[in-house]
Amino acid sequence: MPRKKKTVLERRSALRISCQTPLEFKVCKKETVSKIMQGYTKNVSSGGIQCTISHEVPEGCTLWLKLDIDALTLCEEMDKRAVILQQGILGKVVWINKIEDDKFDIGLQFLTREEKY
């Protein structure tokens, strides 16, 4: 009897490009803006970026990610409207998953020039 092949539908409408590079980030709040934390990127799409970071952050908060020039250029090419600021990019945390005690996967939606931030 032939085996049935399982088809998995991709729910994302945007192409994702694998991009793994170290990053530094700050939560854009008055009390935390001076604290630089660590992480790394996982992939980039036209609407945002997936990262693994070392600290839990609240869903809905704004982060500034300092990326190397290649990753920053890739983000800018994927979304021409993204806000690039001081060798970094601004984004809003749209989801977060704890993967270990001090390790969290997050989904960041790029902030655009048209949005208030």
Q: What pLDDT was estimated at residue 12?
A: 54
Q: Which of 14-23, 67-76, 84-93 has the lowest mean pLDDT?
A: 14-23
Q: Give the mean model confidence (pLDDT) for residues 82-101.
A: 92
Which helix (H) or strand (E) is 18 found in, with range? strand 16-18
For residues 8 and 51, give the distance between their C-alpha atoms in angstroms, rounded to a whole number.
Answer: 24
10-50 confidence digits (pLDDT tens): 455 666 778 787 787 878 776 655 678 899 999 998 889 99
Cα 78 to Cα 1, 37, 56, 74: the distances in Å are: 45, 25, 26, 6
52-65 confidence digits (pLDDT tens): 999 999 999 999 99
Task: Work out whether the CA dihedral 15, 56, 102, 63 comes out positive or negative.
Answer: positive
Residue 94 in this model has a pLDDT that exceeds 80: yes
Residue that is written with structure tokens 């749209």 in the block? 94
Average pLDDT, the chain: 82
Q: Do 30 and 52 form a contact (C-beta atoms < 8 A)?
A: no
Q: Do 59 and 96 form a contact (C-beta atoms < 8 A)?
A: yes
Whether pTM exceeds 0.85: no
Q: What pLDDT was estimated at residue 85?
A: 86
Residue 89 in this model has a pLDDT that exceeds 90: yes
Full set of structural domains in the chain with CATH: 16-110 (2.40.10.220)
Pairing of strands 62-66, 88-100: antiparallel
